[in-house]
Amino acid sequence: MPIKIRDVAKRAGVSTATVSHVLNGTRRTAETTRARVLDSVRELGYHPSAVARGLRTKSTGTLGVVLSDIRNPFFTDLVRGIEDVAQANSLNLFVCNSDEDEDKAETYLRLLLAKRVEGLVFTPTGRANVLLDPFLAMGIPVILIDRIAPDLSLPFVGVDNVQGAREAVVHLLEDGHRRIGVVAGLPTVSTSAHRLEGYRLALAEWGLAADSALIREGHSSVQGGEEAAGDLLALAQRPTALFTTNNLMTLGALKACAKLGLHCPDDVALCGFDDHEWAEIFSPPLTVVRQPTYEIGTTAARLLARAIHGEALPAGAVLLKTHLIIRASCRPGGHEDKSEKEAGKQQSRSTHTIT
């Protein structure tokens, strides 16, 4: 006999209305109540009839996408990849922009649940969102994209941010730079933490300790990047190179250089994370870590399309490769005098091997 909503309510010790609110995200409920309802859904194997009809017989034909900042060209390229695959599979998109706001993300997740989306692409805002639980309890496939979330073991599509950042900083070190400032992103998101880890890892491989005075948070925005880079470049002993950990902060760093009358790469070298068409036409063209942004989107969408048709999602992370694109914003020499540079090279040769 099919499991009914009243069976779930009886097992959880709540009303049928409470079960409905938990599953549809239409009203906030106490966490203990939510947990009892979701546990009962899983234990009884309950599938809400409306969702079951939508998924199995009268498909809603929709995917939900929650991005963290649609103003960032990274996410516009990414969603284009999702859209192309969705269209090829006769699926439509609900695209939502959280603006890095957790409350806004929760509102959109409730909306997408009410719209009976068949799959969800989600960019976490910094914490594991409890509103993903109803999606999972009802068998709606969820894929995290670009960022992972703490305490959430879900499929993920992105890049190896540690390695990408490491490669960028190693390039600056090979150019002779030893005082390398880093403009880091939002501290609550995994990409920022992993790129900062790659920065530290590269320095350690060259026998150098990370100097906290050379690390600033740019909050993943143009304004934040400008302020952070400005602080670094105003130091009495300023860095000879900057590593900016997303494209918006790279723009901010360029604005800071212009305000201070500094020229790149003559006064300061610059290497950024993320590549776009404008990076190549800047003067000078920018050295960047390129992510396969469009391919990240298409990969996530293909996995979701297959999951909707019954295939299992991958259990772990799908990591695509980054590529260091070397252009003119980094110049060998490190802006040191010759004796300092040669001494640094000799010390580097004795303390590390680049692989």
Question: Residues 179-210: pLDDT tens digits?
Answer: 999 999 999 899 999 999 999 999 999 999 99
73-88 vs 293-308: helix crossing angle, rounded to 10: 40
pLDDT recorded at residue 24:
67
Closest CA to 183 of 212, 215, 208, 209: 215
- Tens digits of residue pLDDT in 220-259: 999 999 999 999 999 999 999 999 999 999 999 999 999 9
Q: What is d(CA 227, CA 62) in angstroms, rounded to the nearest whole number?
A: 41
- Tens digits of residue pLDDT in 27-46: 778 888 988 988 888 888 78
Residue 338, C-beta contacts closer than 8 angstroms, at least 6 positions apart: none
- Tens digits of residue pLDDT in 47-73: 665 444 444 445 688 999 999 999 899
The alpha carbon of residue 210 and the mean position of all alpha carbons in its chain are separated, in whole angstroms, by: 24
Using CB atoms within 10 Å of the CB of residue 63, give its burial: 0 to 12 exposed, 13 to 18 middle, 19+ buried.
Answer: buried
- pTM of the full structure: 0.79
Q: Which residue type occupies 29?
A: T
Closest CA to 143 of 48, 134, 116, 152: 152
Domains defined for the chain, CATH in brackets: 1-46 (1.10.260.40), 161-290+323-351 (3.40.50.2300)
Q: How many CB atoms lie within 10 A of CB 309?
A: 9
Complete DSSP assignment for 265-277: TTT-EEEEE---H
Please answer whether residues 158 and 317 qualify as being in contact, where contact means their C-beta atoms are separated by less than 8 angstroms. yes
pLDDT recorded at residue 26:
65
Q: How many CB atoms lie within 10 A of CB 74?
A: 22
* 3-class SS of residue 183: strand
